Amino acid sequence: METTSPTTSPPKPQWPKTLIALVGPSGCGKSTSFRNVDPTRTVILDAERKGMPFRVRDEKLVVPIDSYDKLTVELNKIKKDTTKDLVVIDSITAAIDQLQVKCEMMYKGFDIWKNYNDGIQTLCTNLKSLDKTVIITGLEEIVPIQGLDGSMTTRRRLYVQGKEWANKGIESECLAVWSVYAKKEKGSDSIQYFFATQTDGVTTAKTPIFWGLPNPMENCVVKALNKIAVELAKP
């Protein structure tokens, strides 16, 4: 009598356990880039509380975050959850706004901004300590900067209130930053969405060279992470 071996699922791609930022203006496709994530290994913390711009087939995929304390509670749960290896905060802009609200309720004067700045650092440290792939989305701001020759130009970076983090940049805490943008095809009404994975001198985009990502590339987080997994698996 023949016996059949039980079928086994192919191993999941091993994604980098690090902090990645997606930065761009509203409507450029940041949230849409998560459309193909596997809900069994992903959790999206929805600090924007606007829902996802794609059909969510598993209600456990998205967790609404209505306060900074709620975010802290959920991150502590996720750290202990071995089934989740992709964590998304959509968006870090909204999460930091919630932190500011908490600080304004608890402190006065200078202590508001001290605890706000310390809180952002603590949040970044906690995200990197999850030992998972963590992706944060953030709104972009355009700021004027002066070049070495005295001429003025612009810089596109992740928006954050307060001088300390405006100067330091949340991007400094991330191993990779992908600038998200939309482009209308010439002679067509169709719009395509992309990640810029390296800077053009204006954005804060950056990606480790050994990850092997093209620049630009389709704005699909799963495709990007799977490409990285292939590169990291090479001897």
Q: What is the DSSP string of the chain?
A: ----PPP-PPPPP----SEEEEEE-TTSSTGGGGTT--TTTEEEEESS-S--SS--S-GGGEEE--SHHHHHHHHHHHHH-TT--EEEES-HHHHHHHHHHHHHHH--THHHHHHHHHHHHHHHHHHHTTSSEEEEEEEEEEEEEE-TTS-EEEEEEE--SSHHHHHH-GGGG-SEEEEEEEEEPTTSS-EEEEEE-S--SSB--B--GGG---SSEES-HHHHHHHHHHHHH--
Mean pLDDT within 203-212: 96
Is 14 part of any domain?
no
Is 196 part of any domain?
yes
Q: What is the pLDDT of residue 188?
A: 75
Q: What is the pLDDT of residue 178?
A: 97
Is 76 part of any domain?
yes
Mean pLDDT within 83-88: 95
Asked whether residue 174 carries a pLDDT value surpassing 90, the answer given is yes
> What's the total number of domains in the chain?
1
pTM for this one? Answer: 0.90
Mean pLDDT within 128-141: 96
Q: What is the pLDDT of residue 10?
A: 67
Is 119 part of any domain?
yes
pLDDT digits (tens, 9 = 90+) for 111-127: 999 999 999 999 999 99
CATH number of 67's domain: 3.40.50
Asked whether residue 227 carries a pLDDT value surpassing 90, the answer given is yes
Is 7 part of any domain?
no
Q: Band the pLDDT of 232: cuts 50, 70, 90.
A: very high
- Output the average pLDDT for the chain: 90
Mean pLDDT within 195-220: 95
Is 79 part of any domain?
yes
Is 5 part of any domain?
no
pLDDT digits (tens, 9 = 90+) for 37-73: 999 999 999 999 888 877 777 788 899 999 999 999 9
Q: What is the pLDDT of residue 187?
A: 73
Q: What is the pLDDT of residue 233?
A: 92
Is 195 part of any domain?
yes
Residue ranges making up the domain that contains 94: 19-233
